[in-house]
Structure 1
Amino acid sequence: MLVAGVSGAGKTTLARQIASVIDAPHTEIDGLYHGPNWVPRDAFLDDVRTLVQAPTWVTEWQYRAARPTLTAHADLLVWLDLPFFTVTLPRVVRRTVRRRMTREVLWNGNVEPPLRSIFTERDHIVRWAVRTRKKYDALPLRLAEERPDLAIVRLRSPREVRAWVAGPLARV
């Protein structure tokens, strides 16, 4: 199973919930991608290919190079299509500030850069979220044309996410 959405949509949180409910392993794809010092890992795509060979798995639908492999082996994609300025942007800002203030260790020893880097780093996660948010408007729709057999659940609000988790997902 895959969970799609912009930065801050709640992909990892929902992927963990899904994995718990269906008793499947969750692999955080950021952990496969990021090596020390935020350098992409050479083994990333090999690790993705290994991941999808498992009988059941849940991960986030990220990284252009990995999407074809992930999509080819998925039977469900949950699309978190939440309001950007009122839901996802505040979430990514809060998460980034919290991670930086607590010096939370992320994948392979990485930590969020200083908050001032939002002004100097083009790919700072907050700037990235703003810059890339529109690409998700079309991606899942194109995917539906490419893989008509792939079930896509589109959730448009936090309330819809909670209802789906409590309803259809809980009945799996």
Structure 2
Amino acid sequence: MERILVVGVTGAGKSTLARALSGRLDLPYRDMDALYYTGREWAVNDDLVATVSRLADEPRWIVDSLGYPEVRDLLWDRADTVVWLDYPRHVVMPRVLRRSVRRTVTREVLFGGNRETWSDWLSRHHPAWWAWTQHTSRGREIAHRAADPRFAPLSTVRLRHPRDTAAWLAAL
């Protein structure tokens, strides 16, 4: 495991697991949202493809994302391992709701200096709405990609519950 994608729906714990794996395996960790959002008002990195291409060319890395559409195939082509947090909605939704409430109340600074606001909760792009509406389709896309021979040889670790993830991580 030298080039790892940690994938799953919003709120599954991708970043948390990626940071833990980074420490355990001594791999450089890259936060995909921090690469994608580079400025206020959720401005997108105009150089995303070039930035991710350079990252993907590196011999060792871990990224906490399925990948934004512009760079998704690039990451999947170069990864050797996908760790899929395939948790059910009843596990993911309380996590994403707690995280978003905390971020909104504390005014936590996120990627590019942005913050979650109470008015953001009304947007279909808010993490809570996104996690709910994208749960099934995201799972189908990951399953399709994991089985796609274009990405072979790609090792896929599919974890269906946080206790499975904890056991897998402890066994590394």
Q: Write the distance in 2 (CA, Å) between the matches of 1:130 and 1:46.
A: 31
Matched position secondary structure for 1:163: helix
Further displaced range: 11-20 or 138-147: 138-147
Pair 1:155-2:159 in alignment: yes
TM-score by length of 1: 0.91
Percent identity, aligned pairs only, is: 39
Q: How does 1:11-50 map to 2 (within 5 A)?
A: 11-36=14-39, 37-50=41-54
Candidates 92, 95, 113, aligned match of 2:117: 113
Q: Write the distance in 1 (CA, Å) between the matches of 2:168 and 2:131.
A: 25
Aligned length: 165
Structure number with the higher strand fraction is 2
Candidates 54, 57, 63, aligned match of 2:68: 63
Kindly report the root-mean-square deviation, in angstroms, between the aligned alpha carbons of the 2 structures.
1.2
Matched position secondary structure for 2:44: coil
Residue 139 of structure 1 corresponds to: 141
Q: Which runs of 5+ in 1 are unaligned?
A: none
TM-score by length of 2: 0.91
Runs of 4+ in 1 over 6 A off after TM superposition: none
1:141 deviates by: 2.1
Q: Which runs of 5+ in 2 are unaligned?
A: none
Matched position secondary structure for 1:52: helix
